[in-house]
Structures are given as structure tokens and as C-alpha cells.
Chain A
Amino acid sequence: MARAVSNSVKARNTAIAWIIAILIFFPILWTILTSFKTEGTAIADPPVFLFFDWTLENYATVQDRSDYFGHFMNSVIISVGSTVIGLAIAIPAAWAMAFVPGRQTKNVLMWMLSTKMLPPVGVLVPIYLIFRDWGLLDTRIGLVIVLTLINLPIIVWMLYTYFREIPTDILEAARMDGATLRSEVVHVLLPMAVPGIASTLLLNIILAWNEAFWTLNLVAANAAPLTAFIASYSSPEGLFYAKLSAASTMAIAPILIMGWFSQKQLVRGLTFGAVK
């Protein structure tokens, strides 16, 4: 639609959109700002917006008092670990379903999706008991297992929708060109699949990072990722806004940035390919 829109219309749209966007973003912005205030400034009345003495002490305090970094690493290990294991299991499956579709392929895919519909609370009790009996409570490995399984259907589905977009013509061309199965995979298929695999990886790290049902219920202190760690700030006592903000900022920053990069894939992944 190459058509000139008058600048006044554009300016009006811009103004409305920016105001709404800033309002929506404000809680995040406020949290980030507060993380640089002293506890006193954080609850100052009237609130100060930008003109205060910026300090990094909250970040230091959060680390000193509660081993923030340890929890951060728990989040990294759990989200990356579960995603990588999930990919390792899902890539062959998605590949087979996309390139050698059988009569049952569609049913298998739909069934996988249906496992995602199972409300977690429906299996909370047995999972908790199994974890207790097997010594998996409050372990990172336990969470990795659970998060791998709950995200596996999404991983398979995302990969499947990506793989299906690789034209079979190209694979046939490779076959005609004398490629063995191995070189077909290495030289043709993988390079074309990498962007899809990368998006899947990114989205699933985000989902796993923010997962807050199983992490709250299956860990106590040792293996707590940031979701559970942050929840421990919910005790209603005292002047802790700045530290809460510092901890929150660190918890959301990496994922926020990853999220910005994966907007497009997010839609596809979360709608199981129903909206692209």
C-alpha cells in the first residue's frame, strides 16, 4: 500500500500509540528505575521519577544476602537444559512427521497437543509424591525433567511447522544430485532448518524461564530458580522496594531481551501454527 498518509494523521496515531505503549510498559520501567534508588527514595512521597541519586547498591545487596547468582544459574540450567533435551528428543520426531508423513501423523500431533491441555494441578499430587520418593524434590534435575515434558509438545509442534515449510522439492533435488541421506541432512536440511530450530530454542527458554507452577511447588531453597526465589520476597514486611526491584530487573532482563527478538516466532509457537 504505497500511499502517502498525511503527516497529521500519522502524528495523531503516533501520539496515541506511544501513550498507550508507555502506560503498558510503565510497570516494567518503574521497576527498573526503582532498582537504582535507595530504599528511602523508592517510597518517597511524592514519587521521584528520574531525578534521584542513582545507586547500584541494591544489586550488590541482593547478591550478598541471598546468593542471587546461584538462583540465576538455577534458572539458566533449568531452562536451557530442559530446552536442549527437549530439542534432542523432538527434532527426530518432528523431522519424521514432516518428511515421512503417515496416516497416523496427524493423530499423533493432535494427541501430543492434548497432553498440553492437561491442567498441571491435575497431576500435582502424584508428581509430588513420585518426586518425594525418588529424591527429586528441590533438585534441578527434577525440574529439568518436568519442564522438558511439559514443553515437549510445543517444541515438536514448532519444529514440525518449520520443517513442513522446507520444500520437499529441494530434498529431492539433493537426492537427484547424488546426496546420501547423511549429506542430505548435513548439507541441505540442517542449514535450512537452523533458523526454525533457533526460534524454537529461544521461545522455549523463555517459557521454561517463566514457568511458575512446577517451580513453586517442587523446589524449596537449593534448586530454586528465579521464579521461586522472587516469590520469597512476598512477605509483606518493610522497606524493600528497591531490592525487590533490583532482583526483579535482573530476573526479567535477559528474557525480555530474548523475547524482543522472538516476537514473530512467539505467535507461531504459542498458537501451534494456527496463526502465522
Chain B
Amino acid sequence: MGRITLEKVQKKFGETEVIPPLDLTIEDGEFVVFVGPSGCGKSTLLRLIAGLEDVSGGDIKIDGTPATDLPPAKRRLAMVFQSYALYPHMTVRKNIAFPLKMAGMDEAEKTRRVERAAEVLNLTNFLDRRPGQLSGGQRQRVAIGRAIVREPAAFLFDEPLSNLDAALRVGMRLEISELHERLKTTMIYVTHDQVEAMTMADKIVVLRAGHIEQVGSPLDLYRTPRNRFVAEFIGSPKMNVIDGEEAAHRDAHAIGIRPEHIDVGEGQWEGRVGVSEHLGSDTLFHVHDTGLADVITVRAPGEVNYKSGDAIRLSPQTDKIHRFDDKGLRIA
């Protein structure tokens, strides 16, 4: 079980309030991603749940029992750190066994669990090495192994993939998702990378300056962002935002249209192609001189071909246009 509830949880460092009172419920078995730009308080929020920081106000409950005053060790949570935080002087086996040793588990059970975890994570051949002798991806697995042997109520991940190179990151992303499929344990995952958030989460929590901007499934956030911030943060490449006449014309302060929702070839918008980025399946065109915004990004099928300087005509898919009011909130 791993249902985590935050009630009016608040954090101040001295006089600065990094997290204003905030409510959030994480259901048992959910994969929740906290996402936001750096400094938005997502890591702090995770550390509050972990118990590594004291809350300045409010309550944290784990499976209905108050956990606010419990030390980290008593919360039945396991954490995977950005730096992996492996114990450099212990072998992989000892690293993974450490939480079990702390729990005073007997040798046989300890060995069984460590070996099982090693098998799941493809670490069996590395059990007697030290962290210093492992690659980044292997270290990451050891950190995960150390977390899973405890069979915790929930896993906490603090930007676990940011120290890996791009290819490994994609692989580990998949492994973590598969792990969640298999274990069905609650996972809370912090990242600044919206692609990780979109691909892994059951539920995404978008944070900005300690505030929750929106909570929802990846597709909810993509289709109906509550405000401009979420609209621009979720989705890659970024949503085009256009204000002025074109927006007023549609009874909005600003309108947003995603690059993939603009058709190329004909239409009422006209501009000149600048840089094109060929991704193979798709091509991204950066279009200038449209009179709408400095640059409009368009995603077109890979075979569409324009050279730099070519004139181009664009037409937005009208039903995919997002409208925002002067406060940046979505107009239904």
C-alpha cells in the first residue's frame, strides 16, 4: 500500500516561502511525476515527503497514518538520488543489502532478496564490485536495487536520469516504467524534462514557484492545459503563442497552437522559412516574417521540403487552437 496525502503542506527557508500551502493526493500504485523548471520546488516537495526536510506547516499522511513527524527511516519510503548516492566503500551486494541490514533482517532472507533484485536489474555479475568500477547506467541500477529490496510503500526518484547520456536515458526510462508495471508500487518521480514526464507518468503534477499549476494525465495536460505556462511547458517543440490582432480576432488575449497542429502548403498565414530541422519522420520548420510572432514552429511530414528563404503558407487546425485570457488562463 502506498497512498500519500499532503494537506496544506508548506515549506519556508527562513523568511522565503518556497512552497506555499499545498494539497495533493497520490493514490496507491500511481506513477506520479513532479515536473517544472529548475527552482520550482519539485525536489523540495519530494524531500518533504521523504522526511529529509521538515515541513513548516501542514500534514503528510502515508496510508492514512500521520507521517509528518516521522524520521525518514520510519516512513517506509525508498529514494533514488540524482547522484545515485551509493556507498563508495561497499560492494554492490552490500549497497543493496544495506537497508535490509539496517532493518535487522536475517542473512538468508537478505541474500535471497539481494540476489533476486540483482537478477531483475541485470546486476548479478557485478555484485562483488564497488560502485567506482561501474558505469553510470549500472550505478543507477544499483541505486534502484537498493530501493526495491526494501519493498517500500512508495519509491521516490529525484531526477534519477539526469546524469546519464541520452541513449541510456531512454533505456532506463523504459526500465523504470517496466518496473512500475511489475511492482505496481506507488512511484513519485521528479524531473525537469517534460518528455520523461509525458512518457512515464500516470499523473503529472506541474509546479511553478512552489505552486501546483495543474494535475492530470499526460494527455489531459497536452490537450487541455489550464494556462499558458502548462501549455508552453508540456509538448515538444513548444506551443506557438500568438497575441495581438490574430488573438483578438478569436476573442482571446492570446492563442496557442502546437507545431504539429499547423498544416503546411496553403492557408491564410504566410512567412519565410528559416532553419529546418530534419528528424527523418518529421521536419520542423522555423518560419519568420509571419507578422504573428517572431517565429512560428511547424511540424510537417518528413518528405515536405522547403529551403531556407522559401515562402511558405500555413494554416492552423482551428479545433486545436487554445485560447487564453489576459491572465493567461484557458478560455473554455
Contacts and interface: CB of A to CB of B under 8 A. Distances in A.
Partners in one complex: yes
Contact of B102 (A167, A172, A179): A179
A178 B153 CA distance: 14
6 contacts: A167-B83, A176-B78, A176-B99, A177-B78, A178-B103, A178-B150
Interface stretch (A60-68, A74-82, A184-192): A184-192
Nearest to A179: B102
A191 B89 CA distance: 7
Contacts of A188: 87
A174 B85 CA distance: 9
B118 to A, nearest CB: 17
A23 interface: no
A176 B47 CA distance: 11
A256 to B, nearest CB: 30
A45 interface: no
Given A183-B102, A187-B98, A175 B73 contact: yes
A173 B79 contact: yes
A177 B73 contact: yes
A35 to B, nearest CB: 43
A5 B89 CA distance: 38
Interface in B78-94: 78-79, 81-83, 85-90
A170 B102 contact: no
A169 B146 CA distance: 14
A97 B85 CA distance: 21
B183 to A, nearest CB: 18
B72 A172 contact: yes
A177 B52 contact: no
A180 interface: yes
Contacts of A172: 50, 52, 72, 79, 81, 85
Interface residues of A, number: 17
B77 interface: yes
A179 B73 contact: yes
Nearest to A167: B83
Interface residues on B, range: 20 to 34
Most interface-central of A173, A175, A179, A180 (chain B CB within 10 A) = A173
B291 interface: no
Nearest to B77: A176
A177 B102 contact: yes
B71 interface: yes
B2 to A, nearest CB: 15
Contact of B99 (A169, A178, A191): A178
Contacts of A191: 87, 89-90
Interface string B92-122: 0000001101110000000000000000000
Contact of B52 (A167, A176, A178, A192): A176
Given A188-B87, A191-B89, A192-B89, A178 B81 contact: no
A12 to B, nearest CB: 38
B103 A169 contact: no
Nearest to B53: A172
A173 B85 contact: yes
Interface string B293-305: 0000000000000
Contact of A177 (B51, B71, B88, B150): B150
A81 to B, nearest CB: 29
Most chain A CB inside 10 Å of its own CB: which residue of B71, B98, B146 = B98
A191 B82 CA distance: 22
Contact of B85 (A169, A178, A179, A180): A169
A61 to B, nearest CB: 49
Nearest to A172: B52
Nearest to A171: B85
Contacts of B88: 170, 192
B89 A176 contact: no
A187 B72 CA distance: 17
Nearest to B149: A177
Given A183-B102, A187-B98, A176 B73 contact: yes
A174 B146 CA distance: 11
Interface string B20-31: 000000000000
Given A170-B86, A175-B72, A176-B77, 14 more contacts: A170-B88, A172-B50, A172-B52, A172-B79, A173-B81, A173-B87, A175-B51, A175-B52, A175-B73, A177-B98, A177-B99, A177-B150, A179-B102, A180-B102
Contacts of A176: 50, 52, 72-73, 77-79, 99
Interface string A143-181: 000000000000000000000000101101111111110
Contact of B71 (A167, A173, A175): A175
B3 to A, nearest CB: 19
A174 B98 contact: yes
A174 B73 CA distance: 9
A180 B103 CA distance: 10
